[in-house]
Structure 1
Amino acid sequence: MTVININALGVTLGASLFSDLSLNITRGDRIGLVAANGRGKTTLLQCLAGELDPTTGEITRARGLRVGHVAQNLPEAALGQTLYDRVLAALPAEQAEYEGWRVDVVLDDLKVPYDIQHKELGALSGGWQRTAMLASVWITEPDVLLLDEPTNHLDLQRIGLLQDWLTALPRDVAVVATSHDRAFLDETTNRTLFLRAERSRVFQLPYSAARGALDEADAADERRFANDLNKAQQLRRQAAKLKNIGINSGSDLLVVKTRQLNERAAQMEAAARPAHQERSAGEIRLTNSGTHAKALITLDDVPVETPGGDLLYRTGQKWILPGDRVVLLGANGTGKTRLVMLIAQALTDAVGPVKCAPSVVHHFGPASEPAFRP
């Protein structure tokens, strides 16, 4: 059963994000929404949630459909609430008074420890804040769940728990999720929408298999485009030969034929559609561009603290050298983001306990910077 029908949808915000998008979302669908940063994934979810009107096309929802949208960022107004109270506030006042037990059920399903439940969201890590947003939406019992980068800020254990939770959802609940995490999409989706400015494509496959199918489709488009242009060039060469013959013989018929061949060639060239060319989605780089410094970044037993000044850990003496590729792992709330912020401060302001070589060239990408080519 179709719960949402998308017909010829398009959104223009300064520039066209996507156009002529048609898609049926049915009960039980698990759709991975893939595109490079800034190409309209969040905008499409906002349209599906009814929070933004599209520029063209229409969205038809089943009567009485409940859509739950888990956005990327927690509203600042919620930072003073405890995680528990934030979820409870998602229920209507009368329902919250008599059915508060539902909060306990949802938080238990999402494996949220009791002590975390009763801390203010502003004191919790980004991963726990995202869990609070998910719980706040799920407690409203939506028929369609829209997830915008749900794995952002989650540690590996929480990503695994989220995958298990999504797998255990009722079969009639439809899910649409944006993500740059290949493994997550492969584990949790059965359809993939590659969102593009033109000619978005949908495959009845999880991400990795769909990516291969997309590459094959793009290659076929490239061959078809080259073949169409080749045929048009052949017509133009024939027209040029006839033109010379017509001029030499004075034949009006050949002049007309020449014009007809050129018109057909022009029509074929206008109708030929080039294969999709993905513009660079950006990349995270840390390069030394000719620096002779042995250590690009030095951590000399740097203390990493909470915003309130409580010590989380000390780094010990560490170095980041040219060519290093560093992965920072740890549970939610243990201080990964705080350390990255200290390094970012040193790179941009050259102040703080982290030391960096003066010739280091750096680039910071957003937390959702793509880990693969969409």
Structure 2
Amino acid sequence: TLFLRQADSRDFALPFSAARAALAEADAADARVFGNRMKEAQQLRRQAAKLKNIGINSGSDLLTVKTRQLSERADRIEAAARPAHRERSAGAIRLDGSASHARALLTFEDAEIATPDGRLLFRTGRKWIVPGDRVVLLGANGAGKSRLMAAVRAALEGGGGAIRAATSARAGVADQDLGQIDLDRSPHAILADRFRLGDQSIRAALAGAGVAIDRQTTPARRLSGGQRSRLAMLLLRLEQPNLYLLDEPTNHLDIEGQEALEDEIAGDSAAALVVSHDRAFVRAVGTRFWQIAGRRLEEVETPEDFFRLAEAGAA
């Protein structure tokens, strides 16, 4: 029995039912191997981060070299690892059925994504995002990823047009500039304004997010980049969205914060539209991948070909 796939077809000399079971076992084994390799790479990056901090503080050239070696080893492991095949939720919503369309949080009707001066960057084609989809946008710098995110935000605010948001969509937005945080207000005041929480609950939530007591009532601009990013993630969590819009969400997060964000998104039933250059994050959270290529937005099986092309272009 032959199972045709875009990236990795499988052939089993078995009847269909037995072959299907064998395919599931093979996919599960591939997933375990891939997971172990990714964990190994993450451990190496944690070690590299620790050595980097020690090296900076001590001025040790040897530790700087060791840090680079560990990072390069992690890069090689990630480049060689092959993710297991995953059945994408896109299959169900490509059917022209009203039930599928009704479930969509976002609907794209061949929308034109353009620069502010009107130059066409690409067209989306007809696409949907339903609950549980975690869609990662892939594309070179300047291809239009942030412009698409801006168009989606406009649709969520009632802008209409070729991108439509369901009335049930509750968006949680985090951009790379952390623009959702009013830097002139304190973290405590920001939470008090947005949520019905008592003083002690706010202080406990902020402390749990890594914002120290002495920083909770001072302007947010005095927070470090990592603390601001953790505050942004706390705001997202408290908003309880069913659709995350994340533009480079890991830019200011430390390793612990990145892992917490990965776990939260991957363990949530909400949908997500994500832009990120962090390959480990993309692999950890993505279930669908849309690539901007040739003025079209195309769905691809995995991000690996895009990563390889990006590496070749940088070489």
**TM-score normalised to structure 2 length:** 0.56
- What is the rounded CA distance, in whole Å, between the counterparts of 2:215 and 2:241 in structure 1? 25
Cα distance in 2, alignment partners of residues 39 and 47 from structure 1: 14
The 5 Å alignment of 1:82-101 reads: 82-91=186-195, 96=196
Counterparts in 2 of 1:111 and 1:124: CA distance versus 1, 3 Å: closer
**CA separation of 1:182 and 1:58: change in aligned 2, threshold 3 A:** same
> What is the identity, as a one-letter code, of the residue corresponding to 1:80?
D
Distance 1:140 1:76, change over 3 A: closer
User: How big is each residue's C-alpha offset from its partner over 1:322-345, in whole Å with a ceiling of 9 and x where there is no partner?
Assistant: xxxxxxxxxxxxxxxxxxxxxxxx
Shift of 1:107: 4.3
Aligned residues: percent identity? 25
2:262 is matched with 163
The structural deviation recorded for 1:76 is 9.9
- One-letter amino acid matched to 1:45: M
Would you say the 8 A contact 1:69–1:137 is kept in 2? yes
Q: Work out the CA distance in 1 between the residues paired with 2:238 and 2:258.
A: 20
Q: Give the SS at the match of 1:6.
A: strand
Asked whether the equivalents of residues 110 and 165 of structure 1 are also in contact (C-alpha less than 8 Å), the reply is: no
Aligned pairs, number: 210
Within the candidate set 113, 117, 120, 2:219 is matched to 120
Quote the Cα distance in structure 2 between the aligned partners of 1:36 and 1:68: 25
Cα contact 1:10–1:57 (8 A) shared by 2:
no
Number of the residue aligned with 2:277: 180
Q: Distance in 2 between matches of 1:211 and 1:31?
A: 15
Q: How does 1:236-251 map to 2 (within 5 A)?
A: none
Q: Does 1:7 align with 2:106?
A: no
Q: Using the TM superposition, give the Cα deviation of residue 66 of structure 1 relative to its aligned residue in structure 2, in angstroms.
A: 1.4
> What are structure 1's unaligned runs of at least 5 residues?
216-277, 284-371
Q: Which structure is larger by alpha-carbon Rg, 1 or 2?
A: 1
Change in Cα spacing, 1:88 to 1:27, as seen in structure 2 (3 Å) is: same
Counterpart CA distance in 1 for 2:199 and 2:151 is 31
SS of alignment partner, residue 154 of structure 2: coil
Contact map agreement 2:246 2:272 (CA 8 A) in 1? yes
Return the letter of the residue paired with 1:23.
K
Which of 141, 145, 155 is the aligned partner of 1:41? 145
CA distance in 2, matches of 1:163, 1:76: 20
- Cα separation, partners in 2 of 1:193 and 1:85, compared to 1, 3 Å: same
CA deviations 1:204-230 (Å, max 9, x no partner) are: 54x33x648x97xxxxxxxxxxxxxxx
Amino acid at match of 1:196: A
Q: 1:102 to 1:41 in 2, by over 3 A?
A: farther
For structure 2, the 5+ residue unaligned runs are 1-102
CA deviation digits over 1:36-81, x for unaligned, max 9? 222211111121122699x996112222321222122244982222
Distance (whole Å) between structure 1 residues aligned to residue 138 and residue 188 of structure 2: 32
SS in 2 for 1:150: coil
- When residues 154 and 16 of structure 1 are mapped into structure 2, their CA distance, relative to the original with a 3 A threshold, is same
5 Å-filtered alignment, 1:353-364, equals none
1:112, 1:77 → 2: CA distance?
14
Secondary structure of the residue aligned to 1:50 is: helix
- TM alignment of 1:322-361, pairs within 5 A: none
* Aligned partner of 1:150 among 249, 258, 261: 249
Tell me whether 1:194 sits opposite 2:291 in the alignment: yes
TM-score if structure 1 supplies the norm length?
0.48
Aligned partner letter, 2:114:
T
Cα separation, 1, equivalents of 2:164 and 2:155: 14
**Which whole-Å CA distance do the structure 1 matches of 2:295 and 2:205 have between them?**
40
Say which is worse superposed, 178-187 or 33-42, in terms of deviation. 33-42
- State the distance in 2 between where 1:89 and 1:188 align: 31
Report the CA distance between 1:100 and its aligned residue.
6.4
2:224 maps to a residue whose letter is S
Letter in 2 for 1:199: R
Kindly report the root-mean-square deviation, in angstroms, between the aligned alpha carbons of the 2 structures: 3.6
More helix by share: 2
User: 1:254-265 counterparts in 2 under 5 A?
Assistant: none
The whole-number CA distance in structure 2 between the counterparts of 1:3 and 1:58 is: 14
Instruction: Quote the Cα distance in structure 1 between the aligned partners of 2:162 and 2:198.
Output: 37
How many angstroms does 1:5 deviate by? 0.9
CA apart distance, 1:191: 1.0
Amino acid aligned to 1:187? A
TM-fit CA distance, 1:116: 4.5
Task: Rate the CA distance shift 1:108–1:64 in 2: closer, same or farther, 3 A.
Answer: farther
Shift of 1:108: 6.3
1:168 positional shift: 3.1
Are positions 1:21 and 2:120 aligned together?
no
